[in-house]
Structure 1
């Protein structure tokens, strides 16, 4: 018989140091497998199954069927007499957006020009915006300040927005979600609000907006709790897989502005480096700066903690990383 065994187009084999892994990018599955499977799969690509049985398995049908049954019955692969009809999937990653995520922190006591910063982010194509406001009053008589931000957002092209407020940011012991929602009545596409420093964890919805009340006092505390609750999350899908092969899926296409107006890779995990200041350097200049882009390009293959892990293209990467002092193209996870 001249039938060939082929992995489905949405299935990819990834090699690690001690194990390999099969990724089902369509079904959201991932499974570790013996490294020997790599050479077996290459043999199946080159020759019909009967030839593979004879040349690769030395005619041992028991071992041969152990592998083929696993691949076929668990729907990692299929057989065909016309392998040329099934070319390999395109694994290239491209994005039409110069920036995917913008994180902006603004303090009314130490202000920079927030409207200009938001419009600059929008102009470079930022899709999602996280806005952290400090020392903003929630009193009705101060609603004009919130209306001004809303007017700026209506001029922009952001697809999705998240607002983050906390006890220290509003100088109020308890933040009432209804009061916040009233102030956001004219904020387009801001569908998520995170309220920190609350008395208890609670999720609720007001209109079309989702509110997450959390006991954590800071965003870092909130992030740590999220890690504790979901430490082993795997993101198995075509977009995440393709991006991970060439870039860091957390830092890539991300820009942050701290409360002083300085540009960073991220406010939680972006390290101490800054790359200029809003009003003194344009966002367009920053995002093409090779120094700024270093974390964007720190993909799992160059992070020492993950480079040998066959699951490296589906792991979480919302963590701090630092470059090696001797070779800045190599990275490792850090505590800051």
Structure 2
């Protein structure tokens, strides 16, 4: 054992306790190391006490067991011995974003509202990521190109284009040219296609798929990095600062949910964003979600679960996602 009096995790390694086991989030390597809860208690004690005091507190008659824990952490390169813990401050876990909207999902069928006006509002809100879902009813491709010309000077850092397959959808060569011409495009996906095939030139960015992405719920996955971790400590990363507009122009938290707040034809996006009811799911953090709050993986869990707040406890419950709402009769929606 080292002659240095203290042992601690590197600042980018954060220990998180779960109900039956704990985890160390290695935010630099974007990895998670699972540990027993007793080791989590040891690590908390080590934050304020020399390692010899911690050994006496947890394994006074069995230093070999304590040594095994330390050797495990060293082998995984998760921590180090030191003389002065004050010289190695903890990583700031504050989360801030200058953007009023981080992520927008816009569904449009070239009717019922003016898409260019909605994009201009998103630009004013400093929206970072746009997912544009289009259904081409006819020869509207020139309009699509004009929209991307408009977006070239806007705030979007990235744009994903989802096209519902139809005879009006351009061929792979035209889609490739669009992708190559506009650097902001991250992906072009033609979904509900009769075949699945990637672009020969850009197989990871331009692709035809058979799945119907209009109605498919995003899959749960795990994301490990400092930005996601700090956001998940206070917010729900799926809903936080997210805004959706459906084909009819209704503003929602998620296109798959039936709840709608206003219509873009009558209400500006900025007005809806200030509504506490609209922001409720932003604050459905993992620590406030039943069934997730005791998981050691809660700060890495990205899920599109349909959440409903329990008025008694104030906690959010994950419920079965409602079926996608059938297409509305839009004749009178203007």
In structure 1, the residue matched to 2:304 is: 318
**Shift of residue 113, structure 1, vs aligned partner:** 1.3
In structure 1, the residue matched to 2:48 is: 46
Specify every segment of 5 or more residues in structure 1 that has no aligned partner in the other structure, as ranges: none
For the residue of structure 2 that corresponds to 1:220, the secondary structure is coil
Q: Measured at CA, do residues 143 and 304 of structure 1 come closer, stay the same or move farther in structure 2, by a change above 3 Å? A: closer
Match status 1:304 vs 2:299: no
Specify every segment of 5 or more residues in structure 2 that has no aligned partner in the other structure, as ranges: 323-334
Question: Is 1:4–1:47's contact at 8 Å kept on the other side of the alignment?
Answer: yes
Question: Is 1:175–1:195's contact at 8 Å kept on the other side of the alignment?
Answer: no
Structure 2 Cα separation of the partners of residues 107 and 210 of structure 1: 23
Q: Measured at CA, do residues 143 and 72 of structure 1 come closer, stay the same or move farther in structure 2, by a change above 3 Å? A: closer
Instruction: Please report the TM-score for the alignment, with normalisation by the length of structure 2.
Output: 0.87
Residues 248-272 of structure 1: CA distance to partner in whole angstroms, max 9, x if unpaired?
Answer: 111111100111111001213xx21
**Shift of residue 21, structure 1, vs aligned partner:** 1.0
Match status 1:247 vs 2:235: yes
Structure 1 Cα separation of the partners of residues 117 and 21 of structure 2: 50
In structure 2, the residue matched to 1:17 is: 19
Structure 2 Cα separation of the partners of residues 181 and 48 of structure 1: 60
Match status 1:203 vs 2:198: yes
* Deviates further, 243-252 or 67-76: 67-76
For the residue of structure 2 that corresponds to 1:286, the secondary structure is helix
Question: Considering only aligned residues, what root-mean-square deviation do their CA atoms show, in Å?
Answer: 2.5
Question: Is 2:28–2:225's contact at 8 Å kept on the other side of the alignment?
Answer: yes
In structure 1, the residue matched to 2:143 is: 145
Q: Measured at CA, do residues 81 and 184 of structure 1 come closer, stay the same or move farther in structure 2, by a change above 3 Å? A: closer
In structure 2, the residue matched to 1:134 is: 135
In structure 2, the residue matched to 1:258 is: 246
In structure 2, the residue matched to 1:97 is: 99
Structure 2 Cα separation of the partners of residues 245 and 11 of structure 1: 15
**Shift of residue 299, structure 1, vs aligned partner:** 1.1
For the residue of structure 2 that corresponds to 1:219, the secondary structure is coil
Equivalent positions of 1:272-287 (< 5 A) are 272-287=258-273
Equivalent positions of 1:155-304 (< 5 A) are 155-167=153-165, 170=166, 172=167, 176-181=171-176, 189-204=184-199, 206=201, 210-221=205-216, 223=217, 227=219, 233-268=221-256, 271-304=257-290
**Shift of residue 181, structure 1, vs aligned partner:** 4.7
**Shift of residue 200, structure 1, vs aligned partner:** 2.6
For the residue of structure 2 that corresponds to 1:88, the secondary structure is coil
Structure 1 Cα separation of the partners of residues 181 and 70 of structure 2: 59
Instruction: Please report the TM-score for the alignment, with normalisation by the length of structure 1.
Output: 0.86
Q: Measured at CA, do residues 45 and 191 of structure 1 come closer, stay the same or move farther in structure 2, by a change above 3 Å? A: closer
Q: Measured at CA, do residues 188 and 174 of structure 1 come closer, stay the same or move farther in structure 2, by a change above 3 Å? A: closer
Q: Measured at CA, do residues 256 and 7 of structure 1 come closer, stay the same or move farther in structure 2, by a change above 3 Å? A: same
Structure 1 Cα separation of the partners of residues 9 and 253 of structure 2: 38
User: How many residue pairs were aligned?
Assistant: 320
**Shift of residue 164, structure 1, vs aligned partner:** 1.0
